[in-house]
Amino acid sequence: MFIGSLENTERAEALHPFFKKVFDYIKSHDLSRIPAGRIDIDGDNVWISVSDVQGREPEEAKIETHDKYIDIQIPVSGSETFGWQARELLTERCGGGYDEKNDITFYNDITFFYFTLKPGDFGIFFAEDGHAPCIGHGLIKKVVAKVKL
């Protein structure tokens, strides 16, 4: 996991060849005006999902992991809290296991570590990072960049 500010993305950009493409796009567009949906940056290698989600309580947020894509999550309006747990500690799969089409596995495990991102912050979640997103109050507009491993 990597947490940072959109004002200083250079170290994050060095972690993966496609990260710079994501941050260049995000910094050159007014994310608050982009409607919900998918934006292709480099086909299935890099794309962005813009969504409006209803914030939820921590106990309602399921931990998720991904096998094929890295998530870069950015709240656009409203703060968003995330739970985090190391993937190797997750044991309670739910929802039928790995969903290959959507590249996601959900877990019922309890999260003990929480942190909050505000607009202008970002979090990067790698395959080893179990994360429980969308914790907060009210409507949260967010961007999730999907970067192929």
Q: pTM here?
A: 0.95
Tokens at 11, concatenated: 């170290």
pLDDT at 93 over 90: yes
- The CA distances from residue 25 to 20, 37, 83, in Å, are 8, 15, 27
The pLDDT tens digits of the residues spanning 1-22 come to 999 999 999 999 999 999 999 9
Q: What is the pLDDT of residue 95?
A: 83
Q: What is the pLDDT of residue 130?
A: 97
Q: What is the pLDDT of residue 96?
A: 84
The pLDDT tens digits of the residues spanning 17-60 come to 999 999 999 999 999 999 999 999 999 999 999 999 999 999 99
The conformation of residue 65, written as its DSSP 8-state character, comes to E
The pLDDT tens digits of the residues spanning 95-141 come to 889 999 999 999 999 998 999 999 999 999 999 999 999 999 999 99
Q: What is the pLDDT of residue 46?
A: 97
State the Cα–Cα distance between residues 10 and 31, nearest whole angstrom.
Answer: 20
